[in-house]
Chain A
């Protein structure tokens, strides 16, 4: 009889479990069937009245019914929980195309960008990056570079002279001598920086621009080494192999002196307006350091020699970003500067 009652309770509870539509209804079923004062609990109190062998049999049935109901309840709860979670997740749809709050990153100046790439390259090649003054002496800017006062080469650079006799450096080359004095030989340095020319300004001429000087001094530094470094430099900057050519160029602080041309990146050498139909772009004045300049830096030209080069950082930035007006670079227009 007890078995029948157990079976009836179980089947009634099971059907209520199946028909329950929400978590609360399930809980009610659990309390009704499995609670401390639930139907099965009441039944279990009657077990004591049974004979021992019947009691054991009924106890088993009771436990089985409890387990069956509990397991089913758990299953159903999980289903409800999963449905509830799904509902929450669904309601939490978020438009990720909305702009992120907070500040947009700013930009670095195009000259900064190119300068740092070159600094990183030369640092990896064992060069030191040095800085020097923008206000220079006539000695470092000219005399020590084998350009005495009467030298016509002084005409090549229109100089801002200051009222106290100093000048604004016309090139980064003074750093050659300053670096030699500071570090001695052997030496590998680059010196990027701001330089000044006292001339009229137009779309391709500025009175303030950036150069990067480079110098290597060692026992037997040759033209072959110079070409190697220049090719490496240009390939790094333009991110491809650059065909170069070396031709004579005159700068008093080098002997021999060269102009290094790169094959025009625009037309590939066939001739275009950018390279004035020549197929070549003048990129780097360079040469072997003149013995007088080594002497100016306190280095014995019979023991040591070296190469030096001067890179127009401003020009390089203009080439890379196809900037057709040099005045944009120091114009401070954020509509331009935020593009980099």
Chain B
């Protein structure tokens, strides 16, 4: 929302605060200003000018012009504007002294666009007598910070704030006495007062439609509203001032002499002012004449009944519509207008008649000869004023953390037009002004803000609270996650964060079934349509992207899988993924990841009974287990997915990983008797698993087993493998004798042979 400093100056008596300082003050006390801009600065040196003579220069479209100005005397210049003619009153600006087409040109005659007073660049300004020769400052306020303030969508509302901030008085521009008395010439019916609590209107005749005077165009232009014609400009002026959105209908185009406010009926559509036709439904409120819709209430007027050059009589609508309904309609039609933006903030119903009074005054200025027909139409179901808010001052002091004298609080609230009465020494009763009462201020907490911001939060001294020391509840899951992050990064893995969405590329590469995924209903880009139910595709994308720059890398991610559960809310499962990419063989990478898994949970093992998925190397995939529980998977990517180099992935369920962490248990006493060790090399057929041999040996050693250490494995010429282990055995109550050791060794050999394997050497 843009505010004109000049406009505010007209509404705040004696305002002389520097515009930049005022911008800062508004930010600190009212709403966030995004900036302040000095506009139409040429006007500060411009002068009215009367064209004395216009002479051609050869065949050029440019002409030699002599003007007479009060400020700069007689000047000669070159001007190409088609409307430049002797006798014209226009604007001279003393800039640009140069020779054009052989003529010494001293200064220029300016177009409306050059001056910043309107958007007209067809010719030079045709001056009217009331035009102010002065630049303006435009203060731009962040719309988001005005969400709760219907009143601040107009200059009067901001003027009230400025007056309170600077300790001045605000001037109300509305003269209600201008409203006509007597019977109205039009009839207004409202079907549902919940949707339209008040509809006021006036009928005017003898209307002349023409461009507005320059001062009005300048006002609108400066705050970003396009000047259109005198009638529409007046409605926009009132919208930007009070802020009451209004609409002018061409009275001749309204059929049946009445206006009906009602929800749209099935199949109704409205051809609107902007050239679009909107299909409406029963959630949209329409303004209709006797035969059908003429406007979408509070959003946009209809094309048919709009003001044109031939309009001679108008109906001026000034109504109050339900905020939620307008918002719904504007969202559904994807049409946000200056009117809908204001109505959806809950406007003050008292403003409808005030808006008309203001418009009467302005229309008389911009359309001389205009006449009112009949009295004011005012169809209104008035809601009772909300009760005053009780404000205990001690309570407010505790909220703010500072002590404020009652007089100070009263002064502040009154400067903001609240009506304050004392209920007791330290308790006030505060009535809320109508323009703040629609939604913004209704409870005592709201008044804390009013007082706090005006006192200034800088006056509050920061202080630690006096609260008992208690140990807060812990969050073991998060502590665990952090531990894992530390561990993974210490092991050389770098943390990545990936998106929670699957891109099209991932869906395609992993041949995913979209029906199994949680879907976004309103995606604005195709890479944000489905939520990830696995972190693997993201990791894959990281690999593919980084291969371009790096030959070898390790990384990990901790993130949530989001799973579709028919009939239930989606389920989020935290996962830990780590990956290693290498240009060469991925064997070391797979074992490094296996080691990482063991670092995270000492007791995990990798089993090879996994059903390979399409993106996994079918012979290099394992299930990570602990006891009977599945913890995750270890695999190499299928070469179809990683074409250059090889990549291994560890994918673990974080919850399981944490649940399975070994419990605290007492230590094992150290052995009192020495242990004995021997090596065994076993020859096994191709593709036998060391894990199986390990289990056989461990089972055979039984209670005597202290440790089994893998030593080495290698392939023999016939394709079988030799696998060697060092077995350490011992007893708790004695030193094993040579005979004991031999007996156990024989036991192990027998067990190995029973499996059909043989001992080497």
Contacts and interface: CB of A to CB of B under 8 A. Distances in A.
| A and B co-occur in one complex | yes
Prevailing SS type, chain B contact patch? mixed
Interface in A235-293: 245-250, 252, 255-259, 276, 288, 290-291
Nearest to B450: A256
Contact of B458 (A129, A166, A200, A246): A246
B475 A130 contact: yes
A298 interface: no
B570 A245 contact: no
Contacts of A108: 485-486, 489, 495
A321 interface: no
Interface stretch (B179-187, B190-198, B542-550): B542-550
Nearest to A126: B472
A204 interface: no
A62 B144 CA distance: 111
B226 interface: no
Interface stretch (B5-13, B251-259, B357-365, B515-523): B515-523
A311 interface: no
A259 B145 CA distance: 10
Contacts of B499: 208, 330
B464 A225 contact: yes
Interface stretch (A23-31, A66-74, A81-89, A332-340): A332-340
A130 B522 CA distance: 29
Contact of B457 (A131, A227, A338): A227
Q: Which of B443, B490, B500, B570 is the most central at the interface, judged by chain A CB atoms within 10 Å of its CB?
A: B500
A159 B521 CA distance: 10
Interface in A157-195: 159-164, 166, 168, 183, 186, 188, 194
Interface in B283-333: 323-325, 327-328
A196 B532 CA distance: 14
A129 B545 CA distance: 34
Contacts of A196: 500
Contacts of B522: 159-161, 198
B570 A183 contact: no
Interface stretch (A11-19, A47-55, A215-223): A215-223
B495 A216 contact: no
Nearest to A330: B497
Nearest to A148: B324
A104 B492 contact: yes
Q: Which of A116, A128, A152, A255 is the most central at the interface, judged by chain B CB atoms within 10 Å of its CB?
A: A152
Nearest to B33: A278
Nearest to A102: B492
A288 B448 contact: yes
Contacts of A128: 472-475
B398 A164 contact: no
B47 to A, nearest CB: 33
B482 interface: yes
Nearest to B477: A131
Interface in B539-563: 541-542, 545-546, 549-550, 553-556, 560, 562
B506 to A, nearest CB: 13
A273 to B, nearest CB: 14
A112 interface: yes
Contacts of A227: 457, 460, 462
Given A134-B562, A247-B32, A288-B399, A106 B494 contact: yes
Contact of B555 (A105, A130, A137, A337): A337
Contacts of A223: 399-402, 452, 457, 460
B148 interface: yes
Nearest to A120: B482
A135 interface: yes
A248 B446 CA distance: 12
A247 B474 CA distance: 34
B32 A200 contact: no
Contacts of A162: 518-521, 531, 570
B670 interface: no
B528 A160 contact: yes
B30 interface: yes
Given A105-B492, A128-B473, A135-B562, A207 B528 contact: yes
A109 interface: yes
B464 A228 contact: yes
Contacts of A200: 524
A162 B562 CA distance: 12
Contacts of B485: 108, 112
Nearest to B489: A106
Nearest to A276: B35
Interface residues of A, number: 81
Contact of A198 (B449, B469, B524): B524
B453 interface: yes
Given A134-B562, A249-B32, A106 B492 contact: yes
B434 interface: no
Contacts of B492: 103-106
Nearest to A258: B457
B570 A288 contact: no
- Please tell me the size bucket of the interface on B: 35 or more
B32 A111 contact: no
Contacts of A112: 485, 495
Contacts of A252: 148
Contact of B28 (A168, A225, A245, A257): A245
A250 B147 contact: yes
Interface in B461-507: 461-465, 467, 469-475, 477-478, 482, 485-486, 488-500
A106 B491 contact: yes
A245 B458 contact: yes
A199 interface: yes
Contacts of B32: 247, 249, 259
A105 B550 CA distance: 17
A98 interface: no
B445 A332 contact: no
Nearest to A305: B399
A140 B459 CA distance: 35
A133 interface: yes
B445 A329 contact: no
Interface string B7-42: 000000000000000000001111110010000000
Contacts of A63: none
Interface string B424-448: 0000000000000000000101101
Interface in B330-369: 344-345
A153 interface: yes
Given A103-B554, A256-B452, A150 B324 contact: yes
Contacts of B328: 150
A276 B524 CA distance: 30
A325 interface: no
Given A128-B474, A221-B465, A335 B147 contact: no
Q: Which of B518, B519, B521 is the most central at the interface, judged by chain A CB atoms within 10 Å of its CB?
A: B521
Contacts of A194: 500
Contacts of B405: none
A123 B472 contact: yes
B572 interface: yes
A225 B463 contact: yes
B569 interface: yes
Contacts of A330: 497-499
Nearest to A259: B32
20 contacts: A105-B491, A105-B492, A108-B489, A108-B495, A161-B521, A163-B519, A164-B518, A164-B570, A168-B520, A198-B523, A222-B398, A222-B399, A245-B458, A250-B148, A250-B149, A252-B148, A255-B449, A256-B449, A330-B498, A335-B549
Given A218-B465, A224-B401, 13 more contacts: A106-B489, A129-B475, A130-B475, A164-B570, A188-B472, A199-B524, A208-B499, A227-B462, A228-B462, A228-B463, A256-B449, A288-B448, A337-B496
Interface of B: 27-32, 35, 144-149, 323-325, 327-328, 344-345, 398-402, 443, 445-446, 448-449, 452-453, 457-458, 460-465, 467, 469-475, 477-478, 482, 485-486, 488-500, 518-524, 528, 531, 538, 541-542, 545-546, 549-550, 553-556, 560, 562, 569-570, 572
